[in-house]
Each structure stands twice: as structure tokens, then as C-alpha cells.
């Protein structure tokens, strides 16, 4: 199998999990290589995502590592043999790799949670709202790249609109709903769009109201994507230096706890819709 110039986040996740399995077994790369009859460089390349691993070799290694979780191994085997090339590939070389990695993550997710404080979550944004956000980026985007980003963001909604959509829950702070992005008409249309999506059985929107006391659980937005098994869950956070994909079990537990805490103090779906309706009337 040839080497990769730039592994995707999904390919890197498989590589990381293979390294974790070996570390849990207490084996060195040289010892693992001996189990397959290869050299340690090949194991290092697999564990760095530089090269892939066949299903047969993956299962042999998992057996040698005495991994007891057959469902997890099956999920890793599916990742190793996945050759999916979907709609996001048309943007390769045109948009930052993190955009494509997020699309691929969403494509394979079994559910999705969002927490946002200053902006409407990307999956719920209208075209005009998204365009207004991207137009304020520093440094300023060229028109062509801005429109590519808007089109890509709109296409990401396929996970909510396909015949078997994923379960989606968004916790949105009242501040994000009140901030006028793109002007009064754009903000009003955005609120109407959220209300429309919130009526779907697989979509839940909860508003985090201003009047909460002692609320300081989360101070930044997060995306939580559920994997086919919990060990393959991923948290995505945007920061000043780029997009961060978080996958350690300890950190995932923290983010699951934080999400549930914020969910518990958010308005229920009906009261959230009522508040969004009232905000729309104010515009």
C-alpha cells in the first residue's frame, strides 16, 4: 500500500487507535512488527497514518494485542477498508483540509451534538447567514473562496436531510440568536429556518437563556460526533490556530459531561421554540 501525502483525520484516527492498542498490550513497535513478519518501520508508518493497513493485518494485530472488544475491532476494520469518496472531494485543494475532515466525520457519525454561544451552529445556518459570517473573516476572503465555503456549508446539511438522517441536538445560547448577522432580514430568516428544522423528529434545538445563574460550564463552542462505537467518538473545536479534533477517552468523558450539564439547564424544545418565535417578532 502506497504512502499518503496528507492523511485525513479519519485515517489518522485509525492510526492513533492502532497505536493505543499496541501500547495497551505493552508491546514495542519492533515486537509488533515481529508478529507480522515485517520491520518496525512499517508499524510506525501505519501508526502515523503514512500508510494504511489491510483488514487481515489489522485483525491479526488486534488478536496479538488481545483486544477483547470485537465490536471495536470490527469498526476499525471498516475504517481500514473504507474507500468512500463523497461530495466533499470536489473541494479538495480548494478549501482547507479541516473542512473536508469535518464533512467526512459527519458522514460517518451516528449522532451529532452542538453547543454554540455566539453563532448559530453551521448545520442550522441559512446561506445568507453563513455568507455574512464568512465575509467578516480576517484576512478577507476572495469572493470565489467565500462562495466555496458557503456552498460547502450548505452541502453539509445532507446528514440532516438524507432518507435516514442522523440524530441531531443543538444547544444554542440566546446571545447567538439575538446577534444580528447580515442585517435584520437575514436574522429573521435565520430564526425561521431554525424553527422549521426544529420540527423534524430527528432534530432537537434547545436555547440556553440569558437568565441562568452561576452558568460557567462551557465558555466555547463544541461539536460532538458520535462514532459507531463510543470509543470512536470525536469532539471538534475551532480555535485561533485552526480546527482541533479531540479523541482521547478522558477528554471525551469531560465533554460528554459538560454537554449533559448544559442540556440540563437549557430550555426544553417547546419553550425554546417559543423564545425563538418571540425573538423573531422583535425583528
Residue with cell 494504511: 52
Average pLDDT rounded to a whole number, residues 254-268: 94
Alpha carbons 226 and 166: distance in angstroms, whole number = 10
Average pLDDT rounded to a whole number, residues 195-223: 88
- The DSSP 8-state label assigned to residue 3 in this structure reads -
Domain boundaries, the chain: 9-81, 97-126+155-282
The pLDDT assigned to 97 comes to: 94
Burial of 88 (0-12, 13-18, 19+ CB in 10 A): buried
Q: Are strands 111-116 and 167-173 parallel, antiparallel or unpaired?
A: parallel
The pLDDT assigned to 21 comes to: 97
Average pLDDT rounded to a whole number, residues 76-86: 91
List, in sequence order, every residue forming a beta bridge with 242; answer none if it has no partner: 239
The pLDDT assigned to 85 comes to: 82
Q: Are 160 and 168 in contact (CB under 8 A)?
A: yes
Domain 9-81 shares a fold with domain 97-126+155-282 = no
Is domain 97-126+155-282 given the CATH code 3.30.870.10 in the classification? yes
Query: pLDDT digits over 172-190, tens only?
Result: 999 999 999 999 999 999 9
Q: Which residues are CB-neighbours of 36 under 8 A, at least 6 positions away? A: 42, 43, 57, 60, 61
Answer whether residue 218 shows pLDDT above 70.
Answer: no
Alpha carbons 261 and 241: distance in angstroms, whole number = 28
Q: What are the backbone angles phi and psi of residue 83, rounded to the nearest 5°? A: -120, 30
The pLDDT assigned to 216 comes to: 66
End-to-end CA distance of the chain: 58
Q: Are strands 234-239 and 242-246 parallel, antiparallel or unpaired?
A: antiparallel
Query: pLDDT digits over 97-156, tens only?
Result: 999 999 999 999 999 999 999 999 999 999 999 999 999 988 999 999 999 999 999 999
Q: How confident is the model at residue 2 (pLDDT cuts 50, 70, 90)?
A: low
- The rounded mean pLDDT for the chain is 94
Q: How confident is the model at residue 3 (pLDDT cuts 50, 70, 90)?
A: low
Query: pLDDT digits over 219-243, tens only?
Result: 678 999 999 999 999 999 987 678 9
**What is the DSSP code string of 108-167?**
H-SEEEEEESSS--GGG--HHHHHHHHHT-SSPPPHHHHHHHHHHHHHTTHHHHSSSPPE
Answer whether residue 262 shows pLDDT above 80.
Answer: yes
Q: Are 152 and 95 in contact (CB under 8 A)?
A: yes
Q: Are strands 203-208 and 234-239 parallel, antiparallel or unpaired?
A: unpaired
CATH number of 9-81: 1.10.260.40
Q: What are the backbone angles phi and psi of residue 244, rounded to the nearest 5°? A: -115, 125
Cis peptide before 139 (omega within 30 of 0): yes
Answer whether residue 42 shows pLDDT above 90.
Answer: yes
Alpha carbons 65 and 263: distance in angstroms, whole number = 38
Closest CA to 1 of 59, 45, 62: 45
**Helices and strands per DSSP (H, E), number in the chain:** 13, 6
Q: Are 151 and 92 in contact (CB under 8 A)?
A: no
The pLDDT assigned to 1 comes to: 53
Amino acid at each position: 500500500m502506497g504512502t499518503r501525502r496528507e492523511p485525513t483525520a479519519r485515517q489518522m484516527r485509525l492510526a492513533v487507535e492502532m497505536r493505543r492498542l499496541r501500547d495497551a498490550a505493552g508491546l514495542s513497535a519492533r515486537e509488533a512488527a515481529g508478529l507480522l513478519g515485517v520491520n518496525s518501520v512499517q508499524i510506525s508508518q501505519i501508526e502515523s497514518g503514512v500508510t494504511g493497513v489491510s483488514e487481515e493485518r489489522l485483525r491479526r494485530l488486534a488478536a496479538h494485542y488481545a483486544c477483547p472488544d470485537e465490536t471495536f475491532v470490527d469498526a476499525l476494520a471498516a475504517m481500514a477498508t473504507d474507500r468512500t469518496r463523497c461530495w466533499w472531494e470536489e473541494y479538495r485543494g480548494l478549501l482547507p483540509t479541516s473542512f473536508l475532515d469535518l464533512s467526512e466525520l459527519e458522514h460517518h457519525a451516528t449522532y451529532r451534538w452542538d453547543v454554540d454561544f455566539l453563532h448559530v451552529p453551521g448545520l442550522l445556518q441559512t446561506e445568507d447567514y453563513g455568507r455574512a459570517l464568512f465575509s467578516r473573516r480576517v484576512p478577507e476572503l476572495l469572493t470565489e473562496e467565500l462562495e466555496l465555503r458557503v456552498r460547502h456549508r450548505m452541502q453539509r446539511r445532507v446528514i440532516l436531510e438524507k432518507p435516514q438522517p442522523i440524530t441531531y441536538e443543538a444547544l444554542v445560547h440566546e446571545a447567538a440568536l439575538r446577534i444580528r448577522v447580515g442585517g435584520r432580514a437575514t436574522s429573521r430568516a435565520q430564526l425561521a429556518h431554525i424553527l422549521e428544522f426544529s420540527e423534524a423528529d430527528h432534530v432537537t434545538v434547545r436555547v440556553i437563556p440569558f437568565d441562568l445563574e452561576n452558568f460557567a460550564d462551557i465558555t466555547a463552542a463544541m461539536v460532538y460526533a458520535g462514532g459507531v462505537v463510543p470509543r470512536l467518538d470525536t469532539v471538534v473545536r475551532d480555535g485561533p490556530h485552526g480546527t482541533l479534533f479531540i479523541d482521547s477517552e478522558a477528554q471525551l468523558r469531560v465533554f460528554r459531561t459538560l454537554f449533559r450539564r448544559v442540556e440540563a439547564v437549557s430550555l426544553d424544545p417547546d419553550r425554546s421554540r417559543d423564545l425563538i418565535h418571540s425573538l423573531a417578532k422583535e425583528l
